[in-house]
Amino acid sequence: MTVVELSPFSMLVPLIASAVCALLPGRLWPWLLTFAAAAASAVIAAITLAAAMDGPLSYAFGNWEPPIGIEYRIDAANAFVALLVSAVAAVILPWAKTSVDQEVPERQGPFYALFLLAFAGLMGITLTGDAFNVFVFLEISSLATYALIAHGQDRRALLAAFRYLIMGTVGATFLLIGIGFLYMMTGTLNMVDLAQRLPELRDTATVEVALAFIVVGMGLKLALLPLHLWLPNAYTYAPSFISVFLAATATKVALYVLLRFTFTVFAPDYSFVALPLAVVLMALAIAGMVVGSWVAIYQANIKRMLAYSSVAQVGYMVLGVSLVSVTGLTAALLHMFNHALMKAALFMALGTIAYQVGSVRIEAFRGLGKRMPWTLTAFALAGVSLIGLPPTAGFISKWYLISAAVESGHAWLVALIVITSMMALIYIWRVLEAAWFRQPAEDAPAVTEAPLRLLIPVWVLVAANFYFGIDTRLNVGAATAAAEALMGGIPGGAP
């Protein structure tokens, strides 16, 4: 079996496992199968990335030659995102077992089956080279995600899931309209084929409208500011495990789709010229950074605070994209990776607190620093990465973002990035202040440190935040290769 034949299995393994998982009884077997599937998927994705760094891989499903058949086309960019998604899933699952046992005590078979479906959907979106396939996988992962969010213990989880369903479906339908227009104009759905045929049609209104629909549709999924309204509640009321997974992966995959369409299908010299996309994206990114950070400062529910912080962090990524340069894209992709590390660590530390304390409101944090020192220290260190201080991964991505801003002549953006980082410092500090400098309320229940089976995965991710801040060969190397693949137009040059 060659690497090319192996590559689609990083999507197929979780997809097939989910059907089996739905039938498994009890608590151990569904989790074990899910973990095995995620780990296998991550290993395959790692092998695929290593091979894709040398040039794009193309796998034709059912041996139907592209562009007629559905093609999986894997270059450095999507192999990078696929590895990110599957590695996050594999790392958080050992932690998830304990948390899910508490928060979703019954019918775990279907619960993990839904998780595997959402995971397989995200992998499918990432790996496919077919525009319509993107829509189908997007809906597979979204529908599973709505059901997963509704598993939250609070009844508001249902409302959050419902609102996400409405907005998510509108977003996906917008993407479908855009793809429909592209198909009408070109008669093909294969991305490489689209990229070759679109330049002749670049002056038509239909193609412009298609681009606009796709950008707005993916903006909804990406939670770019004015379209972010579904995100805070969805992250806040979902089960802790699902919050971790969504925060670390879902918006990243949406950003990848946006990049794939604006840079590969429409060449960047079209998509950022025909529409004032660079200006619009930059304005929305800045608004997201400022508003997201600002609102986060005032949240009493810390999970919601981190959710608003995610809106701000999406702003950083989109800001990198809006600079339309290799450095800017590298910064965006790098922040995609690093943000997954830091937000997964933060949400996991928070989920650990939810497991031990039963609340994630700021009042519950009073005096927690002495009672759960390991968990709170992990939260603090991951927070340092979120703020972007050296030697953490967060510093590396901000460094690249600042260099990209200076390089493209927007030096004023540096001040903005520093200011919003200060705002991150404020909202992380609020939590730490409550944890270490406040006395616990007198009626507060006795709390002890979390068990090791929760702490070890959290600390693995915290360590990763520092590792990727010091040894940047893997993340910067892959992000640079991915950015070059995207800027190069047709992935990796001619097939």
Partner 1 sequence: MEWLGHFNYWIVVVLMMIGFYGVIARGNMVKKILALNVFQTSVFILFISAGKIIGGSTPILREGVSAYSNPLPHVLILTAIVVGVATVAVGLALAIRIREAYGSIEDDRIAAQEADEENRQSEPSR
Piece in contact with partner 1 (CB under 8 A), picked from 12-20, 49-57, 78-86, 170-178: 170-178
Smallest gap from residue 189 Cβ to partner 1 (A): 8
* Contact between 361 and partner 1 per CB under 8 A: yes
Site string for partner 1, 244-273 (x = CB under 8 A): ------------------------------
Provide, rounded to whole angstroms, the least separation between the CB of residue 138 and partner 1: 9
Select 88 or 161, whichever has its Cβ closest to partner 1. Answer: 161
Whether residue 208 contacts residue 185, with contact meaning beta carbons closer than 8 Å, is answered with no
Cis peptide before 67 (omega within 30 of 0): yes
CB-based burial, 156-186: b 16+ in 10 Å, e otherwise:
ebeebbebbbebbeebbebbbbbbebbeebb
- By CB under 8 A, name the one of 20, 60, 94, 169 that touches partner 1: 169
Rounded to an integer, what distance in angstroms lies between the CA atom of residue 457 and that of residue 96?
9
Q: CA 5, 482, 342 angle in degrees (round to 5)?
A: 105
164 neighbors 228 (Cβ within 8 angstroms): no
Closest CB 183 distance from partner 1, rounded Å: 7
Among residue numbers 116 through 145, which ones bind partner 1 (CB under 8 A)? 132, 135-136, 139, 143
Q: Does residue 363 interact with partner 1 by CB under 8 A?
A: yes
**How many whole angstroms separate alpha carbon 355 and alpha carbon 99?**
6
Q: Is 170 in the site for partner 1 (CB under 8 A)?
A: yes
Query: Bridge partners of 57?
Result: 74
Q: Quick one: which of 63, 106, 155, 412 contacts partner 1 (CB under 8 A)? A: 155
Decide if residue 19 touches partner 1 (CB under 8 A). Answer: no
> How many residues does the structure list for the chain?
495
Query: Is 481 exposed, middle or buried, given 0-12, 13-18 or 19+ CB atoms closer than 10 A?
Result: buried
Using CB under 8 A, which of the segments 147-155, 261-269, 281-289, 415-423 binds partner 1? 147-155
Radius of gyration over every alpha carbon of the chain, rounded to an integer in angstroms: 21
Tell whether residue 161 is a contact of partner 1 (CB under 8 A): yes
Burial letters 217-228, b for 16+ CB under 10 A, else e: bbbbbbbbbebb
Restricted to residues 174-193, the positions that interact with partner 1 (CB under 8 A) are 176-177, 180, 183-184
Query: Residue 285 and residue 228: Cα distance in Å, rounded?
Result: 12
Nearer to partner 1, 162 or 294 (CB): 162
Q: Select 102 or 301, whichever has its Cβ closest to partner 1.
A: 301
Q: Indicate the residue among 74 and 138 with the shorter CB distance to partner 1.
A: 138
Q: Tell me the closest approach of the beta carbon of residue 455 to partner 1, in angstroms.
A: 28
- Taking CB under 8 A as the rule, does residue 146 contact partner 1? yes
Contact 301, 238 (CB under 8 A): no
**153/325 with CB nearer partner 1:** 153
Residue from 23, 28, 166, 406 touching partner 1 (CB under 8 A): that is 166
Interacting residues of 318 by C-beta distance below 8 A, sequence separation 6+ = 222, 224, 255, 281, 284, 285, 288, 332
| Shortest Å, Cβ 144 to partner 1 | 9
CA distance 403 to 410: 10
- Asked if 162 touches partner 1 (CB under 8 A), the answer is yes
To the nearest whole angstrom, how small is the minimum distance from the Cβ of residue 149 to partner 1?
A: 10
201 binds partner 1 (CB under 8 A): no
Distance of CA 263 to the CA centre of its chain: 19
Structure token pair of residue 344: 């997964």
Decide if 134 contacts 218 (C-beta within 8 A): no
* Contacts (CB under 8 A) with partner 1, residues 293-312: 300
Report if residue 165 touches partner 1, rule: CB under 8 A: yes
C-beta of 177 vs 291, nearer to partner 1: 177
Contact 82, 48 (CB under 8 A): yes
| Pairing assessment for the beta strands 71-74 and 57-60 based on DSSP bridges | antiparallel
Q: How many residues bind partner 1 (CB under 8 A)?
A: 27
Exactly one of 107, 156, 370, 453 binds partner 1 (CB under 8 A); that residue is 156
Query: For residues 121 and 489, which CB has a smaller minimum distance to partner 1 in the complex?
Result: 121
Q: How many Å apart are CA 48 and CA 81, to the nearest integer?
A: 11
- The 83-122 site mask, x for binding partner 1 (CB under 8 A), equals ----------------------------------------
| Closest distance to partner 1 from the beta carbon of 179 (Å) | 9
Footprint of partner 1 (CB under 8 A): 132, 135-136, 139, 143, 146-147, 150, 155-156, 158-159, 161-162, 165-166, 169-170, 173, 176-177, 180, 183-184, 300, 361, 363
